């Protein structure tokens, strides 16, 4: 239920090379994600990329934007560019977060021709790369990963509003604010009330459900990145899939997490 002028994007956490984690079958997999000990990990059930896209196409006619979130790339810079190239061939338009950490990575991401090239803070020592990236392409957009109310960089944390101000001064007009701890869970409304500034087109991400869109719109956000699924507060009914597909894999770990990340 989008509000007028409010844009939504569907998060698509992608595991391009699942074999190393013991996932059966071939092809890319999509899952929900959670923040565990400083890393994003797949959680719960997992769906084939093509099945996931088919489900979204049934709901939005294939017109909706997706944010491909390469899990290994964001965590460790180990993005599978061959897999990403396959993933971006159809089902777009796509935003892409592949864990770029230098300007060469930015060029690699741009060769995949995403609609928006996202550059996250988590693997960067500071804001220097953003000054280079905006000169390379106007489709580059920062992702500010928020942990404990601060922007998380590789070895330090910084104030959200001061980082936002610095990036606006560089010429950026929009960003994604990603509340890491809320991914796969539910949103922290107090956080979203405190981190947005009116002169900054901010997209909220992390634990966002359809029912959160009116609140975020009222708070002045330009849009939101919807989680692929939000774990229910009550037990799932028999046969109900969080990813809303018929084709899925159960996590091998009792807590719903996956190894190898």
Query: Domain map of the chain by residue range?
Result: 7-249
What pLDDT digit, counting tens, does each position of 51-92 carry? 888 888 777 666 688 999 999 899 988 888 888 888 888 777
Cβ within 8 Å of residue 70, ≥6 positions away: 14, 16, 79, 80, 84, 96, 97, 98, 99
Of 29-33, 129-133, 184-188, 249-253, where does mean pLDDT reach its minimum? 249-253
What pLDDT digit, counting tens, does each position of 122-174 carry? 999 999 999 999 999 999 999 999 999 999 999 899 999 999 999 999 999 99
Q: Where are the alpha helices (DSSP H) in the chain?
A: 49-60, 71-76, 81-87, 103-111, 128-136, 160-170, 189-194, 213-218
Is residue 231's pLDDT more than 60? no
- The pLDDT of 219-239, averaged and rounded, is 70
pTM as predicted: 0.88
Closest to 222 in 3D by CA, of 213, 210, 233, 234? 213
CATH fold for the domain made of 7-249: TIM Barrel (3.20.20)
- Band of residue 240 on the pLDDT scale cut at 50, 70, 90: very low
Say what the pLDDT of residue 239 is: 44
Say what the pLDDT of residue 247 is: 47
- Band of residue 188 on the pLDDT scale cut at 50, 70, 90: very high
Tally helices (H) and strands (E) across the chain.
Answer: 8, 13
- Band of residue 202 on the pLDDT scale cut at 50, 70, 90: very high
């Amino acid at each position: 239920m989008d509000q007028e002028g409010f844009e939504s994007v569907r998060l698509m956490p992608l595991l391009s090379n699942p074999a190393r984690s013991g996932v059966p079958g071939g092809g890319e997999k999509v899952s929900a994600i959670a923040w565990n000990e400083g890393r994003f990990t797949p959680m719960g059930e997992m769906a084939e990329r093509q099945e996931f896209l088919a489900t979204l196409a049934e709901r939005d006619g294939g017109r909706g934007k997706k944010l491909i979130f390469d899990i290994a790339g964001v965590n460790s810079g180990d993005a599978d560019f061959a897999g990403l190239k396959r993933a971006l061939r159809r089902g777009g338009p796509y935003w892409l977060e592949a864990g770029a950490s230098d300007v060469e990575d930015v060029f690699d991401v741009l060769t995949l021709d995403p609609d928006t090239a996202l550059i996250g803070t988590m693997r960067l020592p500071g804001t220097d790369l953003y000054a280079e990236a905006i000169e390379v392409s106007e489709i580059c957009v920062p992702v500010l990963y928020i942990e404990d109310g601060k922007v998380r960089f590789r070895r330090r944390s910084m104030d959200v509003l001061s980082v936002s101000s610095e990036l606006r001064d560089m010429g950026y007009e929009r960003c994604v604010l990603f509340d890491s701890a809320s991914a796969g869970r539910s949103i922290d409304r107090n956080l979203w009330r405190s981190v947005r500034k009116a002169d900054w087109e901010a997209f909220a991400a992390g634990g966002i459900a359809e029912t959160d869109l009116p609140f975020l719109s009222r708070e002045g956000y330009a849009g939101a990145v919807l989680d692929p699924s939000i774990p229910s507060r009550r037990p799932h009914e028999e046969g109900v899939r969080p990813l809303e597909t018929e084709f899925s894999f159960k996590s091998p770990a009792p807590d719903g997490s996956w190894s190898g990340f």
